[in-house]
Amino acid sequence: MSEKKGDKEGCPALELIDFKNALEQFQNLVEKMIIQKTKESSDLYTKDDDERDYGKFYTTTRTLFGSAVKDQDIQAFFRKVMSNLDVRPEWLEIFGCFRRANGGVSSASKESMVLLVSEKQQITHSVVKRKDVIKGIVKVPLLHLTVTASQKGVLTVFRKQMKVLTTINIEDTAWITGCDFLPNLNYVVAVTESTIILWDYKSKESKSDGFVIKPMKNCLLCVCTVTVADNLAKDTILMGDDKGYVYLLTITSDDFIMKQSKAEKEAQFKVLDSESFDIPKRKLHDDWVGKIKYFSDLKRFGSCSTDSTNSFVLDDIKRLEDHLPVKEFSVPKGVNAFTYCGKAKVIVTGGNDRILRLWNPVVNFSPMGKLLGHKHSIVEIVTNEKDQHVISLSCAKVFRVWDIQTLSPLQVFYEDHGTPEEINSFPMVFDNDHGLLLTGSDVIDIYPLANVIQDSKELPQTHEKSLNVLLYNRAFHQILSICTESILKVWDLETGSQIYQIEDAHGLNIEVTCAAIERNGVYLATGACDGSVKIWEFESGQEVKALPLAQHNNDEHRMLKIVYLKADEGQHAVIVLEQRGKIKIIQGDSTQTDLYVTWVLPEIVPFPRRNPVVYLSLKPASLKTQDFFPEIRLLCNTSCMKNDTETFLSSVDIRCFDVLKVEGGRLIATGSANGEINLWDFESASVKCLHKTTEDNQGSGVNAILFLVHRISSSRKRSSLSPTPVRSDASAIAEQKGSSSDQHEKNAESDEINTEIKTEETTSCKDTQNPKMNEQLLKARAGLSPLLASAHESSCIRLWSIQGNLMKELLPFSGRPSGPLTVLCTDIFTKILLTGSKEGYIFRWNMASFLEDSRNKKNEIKEELCWRAHATEVVDLFIEEEKNVVVTASIDSSVRVWHARIGYYFGYFGQARKFELTDTSRLILPSDVNDFSAIIKEESKHTEKKEVLYPLVLDRDKLKSLTGSPSDLEKAGHEEAVHGFKFFRALAPEKLQHLETFEFVSKEAGAVFGLLPIYELEHPIEVSMPNSLQRIKAEKTGHKGREKYPDSIEDLSQDK
């Protein structure tokens, strides 16, 4: 036994020695890395077997420290060492620990502020009388109402944003002691010392404002509603009195009629006799019942008292009738307040002994934990369910916020208004839907949560400058964002924390304009405004290859878009779009240190106006240098066709492009500022110009273009959805199409492309088409044929077939103009289409059924959701199916996260708190957005015009003709029935007189009234003067020296 004990005592010392050795090896590793990097920068380093890159650094660090270090901390530490060799980071940073700068405020101190007292709001208007105090505050979540009751009889109902809906001053000498809301009967219930008041808050001009139940024998001190939704015609309330009794009262709508007493009819409230109600009661405490509540999760009620024996009772409401033993909790000096946290399943009590106790609802003999800190008696406790926080208040006006899980204090603050007498009944309620703490004294104080203020008032900011790029790495579940200041940041999607950043990625003051991530997530390609292209290792942030700059760099070489074609250790290939409209392939292999251009797409194509299709001459021999697209030669002379009236030249102002590689087809689509879409088909060796013939070029510019390929969901389970990156062959390229994240790479990415184009070097398309190949291609393009989606300046989305036919035109439905559409993306199954607009709106479309069979007219594309994500232009967005979120980026410098189905706002990258992507209970919005998301229903978009039926009127001429001759029934004595029959036969729609209109423009009447239509009656009706005015006129005109008739009318009105 002694040896074992000695071994246990020696373990900590051994562990300490092992840690010191590991730390020393780690510091040596860092020193060698810095020396190697220094030699590399001075061209003095030669590669050897002991080369230290990120892979070796990661493996060695993981071996030394094991699971004590996180992957993101290793990445951040490596990036910090490589970016600045002069500054040595402390070894603590490898474990995610950072020292706080002197004089600065750490992020931890900001996060510790749970409630922002500085943002407190006060409601001081008439919720109380003079020298009055609020005795109760109740939240009604389903109706978005707040009810308050003052001691001297002022009941007030607030609607959203705490605006007064209605209020009443109760004419009763007794003081109000508590209030609640009856959800089924829609009444406000309040108790006084001897009565129960039921206020119909919706009654405005009725004879009575509600009912009062009296007399009650004992003094009622508290009341609560039993929230049971099994019966909509009744409500049950619980009450406590000053003798320790708890009452159970059930009220139905019939009681308001059947149990009225014979009291005065002109009273403010109709009186209901308390003797006519069955009110069970039971003595549960030996002192006053301070508070009573009902917990629907537990299906139990709770009541408390300052009695030390029966301090707190928690049991079923049936115990009030059957008198079986109840579950009692004993606390020294009793309990003044209690609450229940549903998430933690904990009851919290507090009283005069200044201790908060946490109880298991089932165990009543011993508390689970205690919270110490209050110096005075605790008078109120509420719960923040979402964050599992308890907020307690003492009679000294001191608020304390506690964490239930860790049993630790989070915040303490002091309230400085109110008298000591008022603080003994300080009501408090927490609004879990909006993250607000409401307290009452002589005013209502509202304290917001710090994270709610950050989300709703502080302007979200991910970068200091506008965003250019937003990408998602599915392999690592990380997000890349790049701003116009060329700061590249990598974020963790689930938590929102930053992993690392790269500044001046392409050099000082060189803007990075586009980027793409290859499908396995290992490499990143970036393009800049000067035409430079760089390849990076995504995980470590190290530069791999670069494209040398051209001699004459200007805006024409500015990179607009980049798509990854292939990425491995031996070869990299990307296809890029420049500002001047040139599309080219840039490659690099293991033998070359730099990237180089291997293929260029023709910039200008002359199209015939009648049939805008041009055939190409392909050179398959060019596939030896790059195995993606063959070199192209147009089968026409562009110089001799410029002046031909039957042709037109394609636009060079290309804004966007997309690449598609599927079995039986290689396509490139480009979109231009004038609305032209050029579709390059390398299987049919042709290029087509797609455009809507009935549309003017103005406002039809193409801002985004995207190939849509529908596949069965079961076949789309890709390895990229797993955390571990796995390489795949060329067959996985088709599966990557439609990915909402890396839409810049899609199906153009490939590790191996072995397809050969079997054409001769100078043979035209007509001579090279194989009938068998054409038959297979037509079959592949039928039914599940790929479609092309284009987003336009005119706010519409157009779907094209790859044959060049316009299949569908969609116009987003929203309450306000959405502006030009700027970006498109889909989910990995190509069932959902997301679009972003220049005004910051996001639209969600369901197109699964349409893509399954686009020829079936019954299969429609349905718009499901619309919300405003930003106040400015949306730069890019993607949808993550596993987390069910949509991430958007805008020129407002923020990257924001939303729920994919309901548009709920989770937060933005760069905020202090972590994301909670599964919690949608709290309704918040960014400070620059005012409208919540709108779920689009079909009936809201297509409203049918209903025919208005005019009311029937009696046609007296018709009735006279019907009653002219008596019928046989009238002769038989059925005069009354026959008269009624003839009366209804004589009813007919009202005959409206046709009014002729003509426009009359009067400059004197102004721009508005001068354009109003004037109606002219065929037979004007003469307006007759009332008899009283005719008499006055006769009297006035009979006396000389009197004023004329109009002044007499004025005198008469003044006399009145």
The pLDDT tens digits for 658-713 are: 998 776 678 899 999 888 899 988 888 888 888 765 555 555 789 999 998 876 54
Q: What is the DSSP letter of 260?
A: B
1005: its two tokens = 């009447």
Task: Kindly report, residue by residue over 823-853, the tens digit of the pLDDT.
Answer: 999 999 889 999 999 989 999 999 888 888 7
More confident residue, 295 or 230: 295
- Give the pLDDT confidence score for residue 981 in this predicted structure: 67
- Give the pLDDT confidence score for residue 692 in this predicted structure: 63
pLDDT at 335 over 90: yes
Amino acid type, 89: P
Confidence band of 437 (pLDDT split at 50, 70, 90): very high
Alpha helices in 869-1005 (DSSP H): 938-941, 956-962, 968-971, 975-985
Sequence-ordered strand ranges (E) for 327-454 = 328-329, 337-341, 346-350, 355-359, 369-372, 378-384, 389-394, 398-403, 408-414, 428-431, 436-440, 444-448
Task: Kindly report, residue by residue over 977-1032, the tens digit of the pLDDT.
Answer: 666 667 777 777 655 544 444 444 444 444 455 555 555 555 554 555 556 556 66
- Give the pLDDT confidence score for residue 804 in this predicted structure: 84
Q: What is the mean pLDDT of residues 537-560?
A: 80
More confident residue, 11 or 315: 315
**Around Cβ 404, how many Cβ atoms within 10 Å?**
22
Q: Cα 163 to chain center, whole Å?
A: 25
pLDDT at 501 over 50: yes
Q: What is the mean pLDDT of residues 623-632?
A: 66
Query: Measured over all CA atoms, what is the biggest interatomic distance in the chain, rounded to whole angstroms?
Result: 135
- Give the pLDDT confidence score for residue 842 in this predicted structure: 93
807 with 799: CB under 8 angstroms? yes
- Smallest CA-to-CA distance from 823 within 773, 870, 876, 859 is with 876
- Give the pLDDT confidence score for residue 339 in this predicted structure: 95
Confidence band of 909 (pLDDT split at 50, 70, 90): very high
909 with 898: CB under 8 angstroms? no
790 with 677: CB under 8 angstroms? yes
pTM greater than 0.75: no
Confidence band of 815 (pLDDT split at 50, 70, 90): low
Least confident range of 53-62, 621-630, 1034-1043: 1034-1043
pLDDT at 468 over 80: yes
SS3 per residue for 1017-1046? CCCCCCCCCCHHHHHHHHHHHCCCCCCCHH
Q: Which long-range contacts (CB under 8 A, 24 or more apart) does 900-905 make?
A: 900/832, 900/844, 901/865, 902/865, 902/933, 902/935, 903/842, 903/865, 903/866, 903/867, 903/932, 903/933, 904/933, 905/455, 905/929
